[in-house]
């Protein structure tokens, strides 16, 4: 008998118990300038990979090792890549946060990210150098899972990134206008367009009766988007990498950096096509420029010969509330916190007249020495937050402590917060205008018994939230607003988790130090690079001094108006001087669904991997 019983059993066994061997997925990424015109309205320089833009999707299986060999081919700017939502357990040095877990990679240098991925779901990767990802250096990072609990309930999956888009350079032109004495109210530049799959007018061809899993990712710099599919309901099965008990939603709200996987079952007939609509949340915009189209439209195409209908106007946005989602693993509310980090958020001016963002009256300034290297080289003093500098909002977390992060938003804006290295239970989230969180027995009794877990969460205007997690991942993890304008203006805290354990467990690869040497950046000592007296922070990077007493934002506006108009004439400041002071009120009156622009990049006929075709 050629096929022995033994062989037969092996084959049958493999078939019955397929085991997926962990693979190594290797990518060579030359980060380069390229061109992109995703809204068909403006061709601009973008940051691409291997001369291509949009940048590639990274797709791996749970358990895989990922090796990304980066070469910075940009020529003029430094870079770094962050893998948003990936825990990097025991591998914090691969987190990609420039100035925090590594030196940024200078032009002409190489740097390898090498880590294992032990969690399934929908993530993304992006530059973590100030204001750089909105230039296009952001893309999906998908972790497939052979044990996906809903895998029998869908036929195909479709990765669907959303984004906002700017025509001008964000990291240079717009950023220097944003953080400026000429913009004392801190009005954020408003995006020029919304994108779906890095294009507009995307067509997704579907087959009657099939069920699709859409992995929706908001890769925006700024704008949250409402998202819905006309004539179809969605079943949410994943948020930010956490499987959930299926929950019906007719509209989602995705802040910058949030992700949802939803199951959508196609209709049984092919009589019509249906609009897929994304709409930027204009509450975020201080003033809505004339002619802005906040919407991006695509279609579920059942029959390519039939018309592609315009999206229907809506009376109001009524998005699904994520707070009630229940993780499918049933993880219970963690015990009462051992340690609470309370962060009071405000926006205010400093002595240079520009507007900054603050936690507890401190605006983040990146330290001279990346925080990870300070933790590794300051001995026992690594548990003293002072060595990390006054402008880093450093908090020391003890191994396995239950930690609460309370954010009190003393600002009329909405802010999406993200914690690196963890996801968190969302144990409390207030409505608008609730004021600061005040702990009491009845509020605590109302915490959900199985709270929603995710890695990015919205705090509402003048509201608060409480997040809870176990400090079981030694590392240096940022907690920040994921509106890139606010990250740049300082809305960042640094969680220093088990620093002494890092000293004994971490080995930093040589190419990480080589990047520091090439960048002429110190990598030893306290935040100021002092290797002898760790408590002497002389020479550290610090924020501008406070405003002299009595100065207000309005005062600065008046001053700027008079100085500039005297010297340059009014025209020079028309672009920003005319911005109103208050957070947007007038946009409520605007039509919700405007017409999609014409002549934009055409979506392609697609199967499981829709790729917008760019001209």
Task: Please answer whether residues 464 and 409 qualify as being in contact, where contact means their C-beta atoms are separated by less than 8 angstroms.
Answer: yes
Nearer to ligand C2O, 491 or 556 (CB): 491
Can you tell me whether residue 135 is helix, strand or coil?
helix
- Beta strands 252-254 and 138-144, pairing class: unpaired
Residue 259 interacting with ligand C2O (CB under 6 A): no
Binding mask 218-257 for ligand C2O (x = CB under 6 A): ---------------------------------------x
Q: At its nearest, how many Å lie between ligand C2O and the CB of residue 525?
A: 25
Query: Per-residue string for binding with ligand C2O, 84-123, x by CB under 6 A?
Result: x---------------------------------------
Length of the chain: 615
Cβ distance to ligand C2O smaller for residue 358 or 437: 358
The least distance separating ligand C2O from the CB of residue 217, rounded to whole angstroms, comes to: 11
Q: In the bound complex, what is the minimum distance in angstroms from residue 138's beta carbon to ligand C2O?
A: 9
Cα dihedral: 282, 284, 289, 292 (round 10) = -40
Residues 121-140 that bind ligand C2O (CB under 6 A): 126, 128
Find the residue with minimal CB distance to ligand C2O: 84
Near ligand C2O in 299-318, by CB under 6 A: none
66 binds ligand C2O (CB under 6 A): no
Residue 82 makes contact with ligand C2O by CB under 6 A? yes
Q: How far is CA 374 from the centre of its chain?
A: 26
Would you say 235 or 259 has its CB closer to ligand C2O? 259
| Closest CB to ligand C2O among residues 420, 583 | 420
Residues 6+ apart with CB under 8 A from 576: 177, 182, 183, 187
Q: Which is nearer to ligand C2O, 391 or 462 (CB)?
A: 391
| Shortest separation between residue 493's beta carbon and ligand C2O, angstroms | 11
How many chain residues touch ligand C2O (CB under 6 A)? 10
In terms of CB distance, is 128 or 460 closer to ligand C2O?
128
Phi, psi for 535 (deg, rounded to 5)? -100, 0
**Closer of 161 and 601 to ligand C2O (Cβ):** 161
- Containing 12, the helix (H) or strand (E) segment is helix 5-16
Q: Of 356 and 477, which CB lies nearer to ligand C2O in the complex structure?
A: 477
DSSP 98: B
Q: Which of 126, 414 has the CB closer to ligand C2O?
A: 126
Q: What is the 3-state secondary structure (H, E, C) of 386-423?
A: HHHCCCCCEEEECCCCEEEEEEEECCCCCEEEEECCCC
Q: How far is residue 219's CA from residue 138's CA, in Å, rounded to a whole number?
A: 7
Report 153-172 residues binding ligand C2O (CB under 6 A): none
Q: What angle do CA 72, 75, 76 make, to 5 degrees?
A: 110
- CB 421 → ligand C2O: shortest distance, Å? 10
Strand 225-229 and strand 274-280: the pairing is antiparallel
Report the nearest approach of ligand C2O to the CB of residue 100 (Å): 9
- For residues 224 and 248, is the Cβ–Cβ distance under 8 A? no
596 CA to centre of own chain = 26
Contact 262, 216 (CB under 8 A): yes
CB of 166 to ligand C2O, least distance (A): 18
Per-residue interface string for the shown chain with ligand C2O, residues 275-304, x marking contact by CB under 6 A:
------------------------------
Helices (H) and strands (E) in the chain, counts: 9, 30
Kind and range of the H or E run holding 575: helix 574-577
Residue 121 or 246: the one with the smaller Cβ distance to ligand C2O is 121
Dist CA 615 CA 200 (whole Å): 12
Tell which residue, 455, 394, 404, has the closest CA to residue 427. 404
Q: How far is the CB of 198 from ligand C2O (least distance, A)?
A: 17
Residue list 410-429, contact with ligand C2O (CB under 6 A)? 418, 420
Q: From the CB of 492, what's the least distance to ligand C2O, in Å?
A: 8
Rounded Cα gap, residues 374 and 371, in angstroms: 5
389 close to 527: Cβ distance less than 8 angstroms: yes
Closer residue to ligand C2O, CB minimum distance, 460 or 480: 480
R_g (Cα) of the chain, nearest Å: 25
| Least distance (Å) between residue 482 CB and ligand C2O | 6
Cα–Cα distance measured from residue 38 to residue 11, given in angstroms and rounded to the nearest whole number: 49
Residue from 453, 537, 478 nearest 240 by CA = 453
Q: How far is the CB of 454 from ligand C2O (least distance, A)?
A: 13
Region 324-383 residues binding ligand C2O, contact defined as CB under 6 A: none
Q: How far is the CB of 527 from ligand C2O (least distance, A)?
A: 19
Cβ proximity to ligand C2O, 126 vs 468, nearer residue:
126
Query: What gap in Å lies between CA 562 and CA 567, rounded to an integer?
Result: 9
Of the pair 259, 583, the CB lying nearest ligand C2O is at 259
Under rule CB under 6 A, which residues in 518-577 are in contact with ligand C2O? Answer: none
**501 touches 461 (CB < 8 A):** no
Residues 431-490 that bind ligand C2O (CB under 6 A): 478, 480, 482
Distance in Å, CB of 130 to ligand C2O, minimum = 11
Task: State the residues that interact with ligand C2O by CB under 6 A.
Answer: 82, 84, 126, 128, 257, 418, 420, 478, 480, 482
């Amino acid at each position: 008998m050629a096929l022995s019983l033994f062989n037969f059993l092996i084959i049958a066994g493999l078939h019955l118990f397929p085991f997926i061997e962990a693979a190594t997925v290797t990518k060579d990424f030359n980060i380069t300038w390229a061109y992109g015109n995703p809204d068909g309205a403006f061709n601009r320089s973008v940051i691409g990979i291997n001369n291509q833009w949009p940048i590639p999707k990274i797709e791996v299986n749970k358990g895989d090792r990922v090796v990304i060999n980066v070469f910075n081919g940009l020529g003029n700017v430094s870079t770094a890549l962050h893998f948003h939502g990936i825990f990097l357990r025991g591998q914090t040095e691969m987190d990609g946060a420039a100035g925090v877990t590594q030196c940024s990679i200078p032009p002409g240098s190489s740097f390898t990210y090498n880590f294992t991925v032990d969690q399934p779901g929908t993530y993304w990767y992006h530059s973590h150098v100030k204001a750089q990802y909105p230039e296009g250096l952001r893309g999906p990072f998908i972790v497939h899972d052979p044990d996906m609990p809903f895998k029998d309930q869908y036929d195909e999956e479709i990765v669907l990134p959303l984004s906002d888009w700017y025509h001008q350079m964000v990291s240079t032109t717009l950023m220097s206008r944003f953080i400026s004495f000429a913009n004392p109210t801190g009005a954020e530049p408003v995006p020029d367009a919304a994108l779906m799959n890095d294009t507009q007018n995307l067509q997704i061809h579907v087959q009657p009766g099939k069920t699709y899993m859409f992995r929706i990712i908001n890769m925006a710099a700024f704008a949250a988007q409402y998202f819905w599919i006309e004539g179809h309901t969605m079943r949410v099965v994943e948020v930010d990498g956490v499987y959930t008990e299926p929950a019906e939603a007719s509209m989602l709200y995705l802040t910058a950096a949030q992700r949802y996987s939803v199951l959508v079952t196609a209709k049984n007939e092919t009589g019509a096509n249906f609009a897929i609509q994304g709409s930027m949340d204009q509450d975020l915009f201080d003033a809505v420029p004339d002619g802005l189209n906040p919407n991006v439209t695509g279609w579920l195409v059942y029959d390519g010969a039939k018309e592609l209908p315009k999206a229907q106007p809506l009376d109001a946005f009524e998005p699904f509330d994520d707070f009630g989602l229940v993780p499918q693993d049933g993880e219970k509310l963690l015990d009462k916190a051992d340690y609470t980090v309370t962060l009071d958020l405000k926006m205010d001016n400093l002595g240079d007249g520009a507007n900054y963002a603050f936690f507890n009256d401190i605006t983040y300034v990146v330290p001279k020495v990346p925080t990870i290297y300070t933790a590794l080289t300051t001995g026992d003093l690594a548990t003293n937050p002072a060595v990390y500098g006054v402008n880093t909002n450093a908090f020391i977390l003890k191994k396995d402590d239950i930690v609460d992060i309370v954010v009190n938003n003393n600002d009329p804006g909405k802010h999406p917060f993200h914690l690196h290295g963890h996801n968190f239970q969302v144990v409390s989230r207030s409505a608008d205008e609730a004021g600061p969180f005040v702990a009491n027995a009845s509020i605590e009794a109302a915490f959900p018994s199985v709270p929603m877990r995710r890695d990015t969460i919205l705090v509402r205007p003048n509201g608060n939230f409480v997040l809870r997690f176990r400090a079981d991942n030694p590392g240096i993890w940022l907690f920040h607003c994921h509106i890139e304008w606010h990250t740049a203006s300082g809305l960042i805290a640094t969680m220093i988790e088990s620093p002494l354990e890092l000293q004994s467990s971490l080995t930093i690869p040589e190419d990480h130090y080589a990047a520091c040497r090439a960048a002429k950046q110190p990598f030893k000592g306290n935040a100021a690079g002092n290797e002898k007296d760790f408590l002497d922070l002389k020479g550290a990077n610090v924020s501008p001094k406070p405003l002299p007493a009595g100065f207000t934002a309005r005062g600065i506006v008046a001053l700027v108006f008079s100085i500039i108009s005297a010297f340059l004439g009014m025209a020079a400041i028309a672009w920003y001087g005319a911005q109103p002071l208050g957070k947007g009120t007038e946009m409520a009156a605007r039509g919700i669904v405007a017409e999609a622009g014409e002549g934009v990049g055409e979506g392609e006929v697609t199967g499981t991997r829709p790729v917008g075709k760019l001209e």
